A = this chain, B = another copy of it.
């Protein structure tokens, strides 16, 4: 038998033997009550459903790790309730809407949209002490076709913001909504099964946009203006004109590229806090972006995306849908032509940050993480994070994303 020394001439380097287990960064990944990111996110209004999801048949929603019940009362007001009836714990999913509000099926206790008990039909005098009971609730509001909720500390509740993208509609323009997770790489109603932040930071990952969607599996988004027809030039050369900036509202990435006809195309993509996707319309005309996506962190390992579109019709949604048909592709096809779903989802339900090796092309990702960590610290030290308005004159958030030919009017 040989000795250890004999063997050492061919010892393998860099094998996986003895690797430490990877870990994820709790601050970036966890969204439940009391977590640093969870408390930051709870300082903002989040869309939790389309307007039409709130009806007289209660609807279960999950938001930031909390199970809740969304409904609409007879006056048309939306309500969002802790699901367990404060009486005996039966779910208000089985409650009915009547003139008293939302009424539990088990013993008939009824509540208004702010959780006040309005009737106890099995208690003497219909509940002479019913004012002592309150169903835990959250405030809701409707805007842009979405139902929004605020799950944070009541004394810090901001105004429901407006976004420049959806204000001052021209004649013939309307707003349209979609809840099929546009931007996730598949197009369906339901939860995307991995952590929201590894999706969200991908928006500022300019390198993946070129590599994954054009060089590897592409073209996955058409090749507007012919800017990506050339796959001979290495992508890093095309990325040299890329800059990232922390703005008043988030982080923006700006790509400048000379298209084949000689014009300089400037594309602005941005992450606006808390969870807004500001991405150009791949089928759209030059100009400001005509839609925004709102990522809803369902819990640590699931998210949804609601999209609001400004335009003449909803054809944009259907063009997107046709790129990535509903349903799971056959496994080998997903392997041969992966998209965002595969690239981000295969990082795991929560990616392992300890195993990453960020490079120069990840600087947008790095800036976004830094901004979130700063805002987490602001909240932890008692302050208000960015993009909150407490006076009506400050409730408009300016959105910068879009695609522009700067030499054009």
A-side residues, CB < 8 A to B, are 1-2, 4, 6-8, 10-19, 22, 33, 42, 57-58, 66, 68, 82-84, 86-91, 93-94, 96, 103, 105-108, 114-116, 120-127, 133-139, 151-157, 205, 207-208, 210-212, 215-217, 234-236, 239-240, 332, 334-336, 338, 342-344, 346-348, 351-352, 355-362, 384, 389-391, 394
Which residue of the partner chain, among B137, B215, B342, contacts A16 with CB atoms under 8 Å? B137
User: What is the total number of copies of this protein in its complex?
Assistant: 3
A14 CA / B358 CA spacing, docked (Å): 45
Whether B123 and A18, one on each chain, are in contact in the complex, defined by CB atoms closer than 8 angstroms, is: no
Q: Are A361 and B122 in contact (CB under 8 A)?
A: yes
Q: Report how far A169 CA is from B107 CA in the complex, Å.
A: 39
Residues of chain B within 8 A (CB-CB) of A87 are: 356-359
A216:B105 contact, CB within 8 angstroms:
yes
Q: Given A1-B391, A391-B1, is A15 in contact with B138 using a C-beta cutoff of 8 Å?
A: yes
**Interface of chain A, helix or strand or loop or mixed?**
loop
Q: Indicate which residue in B115, B152, B207 contacts A17 across the interface (CB closer than 8 Å).
A: B152
Do the beta carbons of A208 and B106 come within 8 Å of each other?
yes
The 7 closest A-B pairs by CB, nearest first: A91-B346, A16-B136, A122-B207, A2-B390, A94-B338, A14-B134, A12-B154
Q: Contact between B390 and A14 (Cβ–Cβ < 8 Å)?
A: no
Q: How far is the CA of A205 from the CA of B14 in the complex (A)?
A: 42
A208 lies within 8 A of B390 (CB):
no
Residues of B within 8 A of A83 (CB): 346
A124's contact among B2, B66, B332, B360, by CB below 8 Å, is which?
A: B360
CA distance A354 to B354 in the complex (A): 39
With most chain B CB atoms within 10 A of its CB, the pick from A6, A68, A211 is A211
Q: Give CA–CA (A239, B42) in the complex, Å.
A: 44
Query: In the assembled complex, which residues on chain B have CB atoms less than 8 Å from the CB atom of A88?
Result: 347, 351, 356, 358, 362
Cross-chain contact B346 with A155 (CB below 8 angstroms): no
Which single residue of chain B is at the shortest CB-CB distance from A348?
B89
A154→B11 contact, CB < 8 A: yes
Looking at the assembled complex, report how far the CB atom of A42 sits from the nearest CB atom of chain B, in whole angstroms: 7
A sample of 5 more A-B contacts (CB under 8 A), given A18-B153, A87-B359, is: A7-B155, A57-B332, A93-B346, A123-B360, A124-B236
Find chain B residues with CB under 8 A from A105 CB. Answer: 211-212, 216-217, 338, 342-343
Interface centre among A33, A125, A338 (most CB of B within 10 A): A338
- Return chain B residues, CB-CB under 8 Å to A16: 66, 68, 82, 136-138, 151
A366 to B210, CA, bound (A): 61
What are 7 of the A-B contact pairs (CB < 8 Å)? A7-B157, A18-B33, A57-B332, A89-B356, A107-B212, A122-B236, A124-B236
Min CB distance A207 to B, Å, is 4
Report the separation of the CA atoms of residues A236 and B119 in the bound assembly, to the nearest whole angstrom: 12
A136 touches B234 (CB 8 A): no
A76 → B minimal CB distance (Å): 20
Alpha-carbon distance between A406 and B64 when the two chains are bound, in angstroms? 58
* Beta-carbon contact of A361 and B123 below 8 Å: yes
Q: Which residues of the partner chain B approach A216 to less than 8 Å between Cβ atoms?
A: 96, 103, 105, 108
